Amino acid sequence: MNILFASSEVAPFIKTGGLADVAGSLPKKLAEMGHDVKVILPLYEGVAQQYREKMKLLCHWNCRVAWRTPYCGILELREDNISYLFVDNEYYFKRAEVYGHYDDGERFTFFSRAVVETPAHLDWHPDVIHCNDWQTALVPIYLLEERERVWQLRGSKSVFTIHNIEYQGRYGDQVLEDLLGLNRGYMNEHMLAYHGDVNLMKGAIYAADYVTTVSPTYAEELQYPFYAHGLEGVVADNRWKLQGILNGLDADLYDPSNGAGLAAAFTPDDLGGKAACKAALQRAVGLREDPNVPIIACVSRLVRHKGFELVAAAIPEIMNMDVQMVVLGTGEWNFEEAFRHAEAQYPSRFSARIQYSAALSTAIYGGADLFLMPSVSEPCGLSQMIAMRYGTVPVVRETGGLKDTVVPHGVFGDNGFTFADINAHDMVWVLGEAVDLYYNDKSAWRGLQHNGMTRDFSWNEPAREYEGVYYQITGIPRPEAEFHAPAGAPAPTEVPIPDEAPVAEEHPAPALAEEPVPEVPAAPAEEPPAAPVKRPAVRKAAARKSASSGGAKKASSGAGTAGTKKPAARKKKETPAD
């Protein structure tokens, strides 16, 4: 199957959040499963030179963006059996930041047009175009018309994945014709209309052949106003084509057994190296070096919906426990200031690193004991999975993917701690339970670590689910034998056996019928009825019924003629049977 995966960011080329991790990992798994996968993304200024040196220019043309015709170049980089297509236009993408510009609507309208027009220039037919978030939300809408005009898009289907419904791509209705190049019908028929504005994500949900979210719980939550940010009605209206598929994790990238980015390597059965990682972390962030004190860690964007309002309010209660704490990330200024103040108030016990550092985040995952993630809303979340891979026990609120991945302590298969209400006191209480277990029950603590490290968070099952969606919407038969050879092996041997049985029963019947056929000319009145006893009986009854319904005159006057016609009818029915 040919799959075109469209995303505004893809790891390792450019990354601002979890979308890049998904776009970097899922296509790799699909390619491993035998599909022809192309990933298309903008060529930002932030794409490193080491990748640019491997690119080659495939084609260029003037893209159609309403009345504009900007330059569009496609550069290809082949890696891991995937063709990465970079959309080149320096006016739109040669900027220091990926998002947050005044003309983001125009930039990603251009990108969406490039996604739709690229297959024709490559003379390549995608069976599925998989789009992600509002930046590519116009692709399913454009595809409604373009697949009837462009031969390479004929029969192409679209999948739209909602990673975060909070960001919807909402603009004034004046952009409909002037920027998006769409007629007023898209507003009049409510596909894009949203309180008088244009809502790109709403349009994509209606236009796409299938809609997915990044966890089963998040798919359910989106039907409630608290989580759907005004689109709960749209989600409910399209519930029939909505499915939640939990994101996976690149198991090779986040593997403590190889020691990459860590002070020492460790495994689920040998956690000796984690002590060295803890000591290295304490030195790196200025905490007192103490192997016996648990470290609580947060690695996140410091924003309200990540639950940092709860954390900032509960700092004194958290620090009243015998713990250390480290926070890494950037975000809203009030949270940044609250954590800087806590660092000054609790020296050598609280560390605030208001920055983004991939190297430091790996050190935190490897060296911390508890990972705090009290999100108000979390579509999927990768941080809790990464933490568990490194033997760091998560403490999370039960929402979205956090609820789907963290099993609370005391339940079979437990790997962390959870709380349900958006309440700082509940969070502190559960943190207290976790700290108490750390100090007083090392055996149970090791069990939590082992369960988290050994749970399968890979892309194997999610990729199979996405593949199932692709086969469902395209109608292409799924080659089950390729993936389930052992289970399918006995089935083909058993299927022909019942097929042969009825065939064997059918052959003797015509064989017996064929023997009296040569005798038919000799005695047509007696021999033929002996073999096909049932068929003449049925037809005789039908003849009688028609005779009775036809009238008594025909029955009485045509007694002789009826006798002569019936043998002739039997003779005709027997000859084709031979």
212-224 per-position pLDDT tens digit: 999 999 999 999 9
Looking at the chain, the whole-number percentage of residues with pLDDT higher than 90 is 79
Q: Judging by DSSP bridges, how do beta strands 157-162 and 393-397 pair with one another?
A: unpaired
Contact between 451 and 394 (Cβ < 8 Å): no
> Which amino acid is present at 80?
D
Tell me the mean pLDDT in the region 258-278. Answer: 95
15 labeled binding residue:
yes
Q: Are 198 and 336 found together in one domain?
A: no
Q: Are 172 and 228 found together in one domain?
A: yes
**pLDDT band, very low/low/confident/very high, at 542 (cuts 50, 70, 90):** very low
Q: Are 147 and 293 found together in one domain?
A: no
Tell me the mean pLDDT in the region 86-110. Answer: 96
**What is the pLDDT, as a whole number, of residue 17?**
85
**What is the pLDDT, as a whole number, of residue 528?**
44
Last residue of one domain, picked from the residues 194, 224, 244 = 244
Contact between 169 and 137 (Cβ < 8 Å): yes
Tell me the mean pLDDT in the region 302-319. Answer: 96
Q: Is the pLDDT of residue 354 over 60?
A: yes
Residue 552, domain extent? 505-577
Domain assignment present for residue 435? The answer is yes
Domain assignment present for residue 499? The answer is no
Contact between 367 and 233 (Cβ < 8 Å): no
**What is the pLDDT, as a whole number, of residue 102?**
95
> How far apart are alpha carbons 383 and 378 in whole angstroms?
11
Q: Is the pLDDT of residue 483 over 50?
A: no
Q: Is the pLDDT of residue 538 over 50?
A: no
> How far apart are alpha carbons 463 and 465 in whole angstroms?
5
**What is the pLDDT, as a whole number, of residue 190?**
84
**pLDDT band, very low/low/confident/very high, at 488 (cuts 50, 70, 90):** very low
Q: Are 220 and 83 found together in one domain?
A: yes
**What is the pLDDT, as a whole number, of residue 189?**
82
**pLDDT band, very low/low/confident/very high, at 529 (cuts 50, 70, 90):** very low
Q: Are 416 and 385 found together in one domain?
A: yes
**What is the pLDDT, as a whole number, of residue 501?**
43
**What is the pLDDT, as a whole number, of residue 140?**
97
Q: Is the pLDDT of residue 395 over 70?
A: yes
Q: Are 526 and 448 found together in one domain?
A: no
Contact between 379 and 164 (Cβ < 8 Å): yes
Q: Is the pLDDT of residue 517 over 50?
A: no
Last residue of one domain, picked from the residues 425, 458, 491 = 458
Q: Are 225 and 270 found together in one domain?
A: no
**pLDDT band, very low/low/confident/very high, at 80 (cuts 50, 70, 90):** confident
Contact between 396 and 312 (Cβ < 8 Å): no
Query: Among 110-119, 159-168, 186-195, 538-547, which stretch is predicted with the lowest mean pLDDT?
Result: 538-547
> How far apart are alpha carbons 77 and 41 in whole angstroms?
11
The tokens for 187 are 């507003």
Last residue of one domain, picked from the residues 244, 273, 295 = 244
* More reliable by pLDDT, 300 or 553: 300
* More reliable by pLDDT, 17 or 236: 236
Domain assignment present for residue 477? The answer is no
Contact between 132 and 11 (Cβ < 8 Å): no
Half-sphere exposure of 511 (CA within 13 A, CB side): 6
Q: Are 385 and 432 found together in one domain?
A: yes
Tell me the mean pLDDT in the region 13-17. Answer: 91
**What is the pLDDT, as a whole number, of residue 46?**
94
Count of domains forming the chain: 3
Q: Are 220 and 260 found together in one domain?
A: no
Domain assignment present for residue 487? The answer is no
Q: Are 444 and 368 found together in one domain?
A: yes
Domain assignment present for residue 471? The answer is no
> How far apart are alpha carbons 82 and 75 in whole angstroms?
13
Tell me if the pTM is above 0.85. no
> How far apart are alpha carbons 525 and 351 in whole angstroms?
107
Q: Are 553 and 439 found together in one domain?
A: no
Question: What contacts 374, CB < 8 A, 6 or more positions away?
Answer: 306, 307, 308, 310, 311, 395, 396, 397, 419, 427
* More reliable by pLDDT, 532 or 66: 66
**What is the pLDDT, as a whole number, of residue 421?**
96
Query: Among 88-92, 451-455, 569-573, which stretch is predicted with the lowest mean pLDDT?
Result: 569-573
* CATH number reported for the structural domain that contains residue 64 in this entry: 3.40.50.2000
* More reliable by pLDDT, 120 or 510: 120
Neighbours of 528 (CB within 10 A): 20
* More reliable by pLDDT, 243 or 494: 243
* More reliable by pLDDT, 559 or 351: 351
Q: Is the pLDDT of residue 508 over 90?
A: no
Domain assignment present for residue 436? The answer is yes
Neighbours of 299 (CB within 10 A): 23
Domain assignment present for residue 228? The answer is yes
* More reliable by pLDDT, 499 or 289: 289
Mean pLDDT of the chain: 87
Residue 222: Cβ-neighbour burial (10 angstroms; 0-12, 13-18, 19+)? buried
* More reliable by pLDDT, 524 or 328: 328
**What is the pLDDT, as a whole number, of residue 479?**
84
Q: Is the pLDDT of residue 106 over 80?
A: yes
* Sheet architecture: strand order including 170-172: 170-172, 197-199, 193-194
Q: Are 148 and 227 found together in one domain?
A: yes
Domain assignment present for residue 251? The answer is no
Q: Is the pLDDT of residue 490 over 70?
A: no
Tell me the mean pLDDT in the region 48-70. Answer: 96
The tokens for 574 are 């027997």
Tens digit of pLDDT for each residue in 493-506?
444 444 444 444 44
